[in-house]
Amino acid sequence: MKAEIISIGTELLLGEIVDTNTPYLAGQLSVLGIDLYFTSAVGDNMARLKGVLKQAWDRSDIVLTTGGIGPTQDDLTRDAIAALLGEKTEVDPQLKQGLINFFARRGLEMPASNVRQATLIPSCTALINSQGTAPGWWVEKEGKIIVAMPGPPGEMQYMWENQVLPRLQERTGAVLLTRMIKTFGTSEAKVDEMLSDLTASTNPTLATYAKLDGIYIRIAAKAEKKEEAQKMVDSREADVRAILGDIIWGVDDDTQEAVAGKVLLEKGLSLAVAESFTGGFLAHTLAADANSAHYFKGGLIAASSEVKVALGLDPKLVNGEDKAEVARAMAVLARQKLEATVGIGIEGEGHSEPESGMMAGTVFIAIDSEKAGLHAVQSYSGRLYQMKRRAAYYALFDLVKLLRA
């Protein structure tokens, strides 16, 4: 089965927005095992839109479109599909009432132009849009499928997951399940090498992705029934865990900060941080976690040696050579000053590497807790611009590992 994606909207051709719908849908199709050979973008112009649709209809089995289904005269997707198939759009009374109700709930009258969003053609069924006013279209004719979805990524993804994906899975007679396994501290090349016995498999498949907070591994399994796909994913996850072991820190929507928070809460601990090298990135990351009010106390950010001294550190220590000891003193200071049971201290320095000329950063991460009996310091090096953020993830990863040890 061959698919094609068309993004519709003049704003795409002016470079005003980045099209994230196409890569999202491309990733979904890849996981579904549906071949994608072409993607394209076209403006709000009837002749050109019809041309692009016609070409896609001729050469592909499934055409996915995003955009152009709003209420204005510029929104041409519905009319272009109708013209391509030689059908006529008509207002659907039920859809129209739904739109009237949508506006009424907001104390508004439906603008007359919105009635365009209540139109259908004989070959199409409406896809409910619970996130906006534009229903999608599911069109089936001559063994081919066109799916018209809204342009705003939130609306599009919700409709894809809840309305389009289940229908496609029905058509392809396959249920597809995925799981993302998240690791930290090992390079993508090394993870690939460790998993090389598993990557040849075509079902389930494995794919790796490099992110700031580590290497992700996506497991995707296709089966006739959900239970079957679930079993395949679970079993492959067990294989991956047996190989990768404790470099895995989470799955799917997990974040390192949320995982660390969960472990802290389980152990009845609270956290405070003192940062120089990362300049508040760790505190910001922790504070942004929805649950952090229950375990995160706060942070001390020191941009210079003088400030470290002003906050209470020993001047001799601060100005000395032993950065590991500075990190340790910072962890203790944060824990004590902010009345937490665990303290993290991050100290570091940048330097240019003589061989490569690359700017490298070395970071010292101390984790200190009287209550949990932890007094650890680790150091890591890497590219300077990356380390200024990655150091926060080293700290969270180390914290979880130590608390679980």
* Residues at the interface with a copy of itself (CB under 8 A): 12-20, 22-30, 36-43, 45, 48, 52, 207, 209, 272-273, 278-284, 286-288, 292-293, 296-304, 306-307, 310-311, 337-339, 388
- Tokens 């969003």 locate to 117
* Residues β-bridged to residue 273: 299, 344
Pick between residue 99 and residue 340 the one whose CB is nearest to a copy of itself: 340
Tokens of 228: 């079957």
Minimum separation from the CB atom of position 310 to a copy of itself (A): 5
Pick between residue 95 and residue 350 the one whose CB is nearest to a copy of itself: 350
Q: 299 — phi, psi (to 5°)?
A: -150, 160
Q: How many CB atoms lie within 10 A of CB 165?
A: 16
Pick between residue 98 and residue 298 the one whose CB is nearest to a copy of itself: 298
Q: 369 — phi, psi (to 5°)?
A: -150, 115
Minimum separation from the CB atom of position 42 to a copy of itself (A): 6
Pick between residue 300 and residue 363 the one whose CB is nearest to a copy of itself: 300
Tokens of 381: 């090096």
DSSP class per residue in 90-120: EE-HHHHHHHHHHHHHTT-PPPGGGGGGGEE
Pick between residue 124 and residue 329 the one whose CB is nearest to a copy of itself: 329
Tokens of 20: 């994230």
Pick between residue 167 and residue 337 the one whose CB is nearest to a copy of itself: 337
Pick between residue 105 and residue 316 the one whose CB is nearest to a copy of itself: 105
- Tokens 């389009």 locate to 164
Pick between residue 52 and residue 168 the one whose CB is nearest to a copy of itself: 52
Minimum separation from the CB atom of position 52 to a copy of itself (A): 7
Contact 77, 69 (CB under 8 A): yes
CA torsion sign for 405, 178, 195, 394 is negative
Give the residue from 190, 192, 217 showing the smallest Cα distance to 204. 217
Pick between residue 174 and residue 302 the one whose CB is nearest to a copy of itself: 302
Give the CA-trace dihedral at 79, 85, 90, 92, to 10 degrees: -100
Minimum separation from the CB atom of position 208 to a copy of itself (A): 10
Minimum separation from the CB atom of position 40 to a copy of itself (A): 4
Q: How many CB atoms lie within 10 A of CB 220?
A: 22
Task: Please count the residues of the chain.
Answer: 405
**Interatomic CA distance for residues 131 and 69, integer angstroms:** 14
Minimum separation from the CB atom of position 219 to a copy of itself (A): 16
Minimum separation from the CB atom of position 58 to a copy of itself (A): 12
Minimum separation from the CB atom of position 108 to a copy of itself (A): 13
Minimum separation from the CB atom of position 396 to a copy of itself (A): 14
Report the Cα–Cα distance between both ends of the chain, in Å, rounded: 49
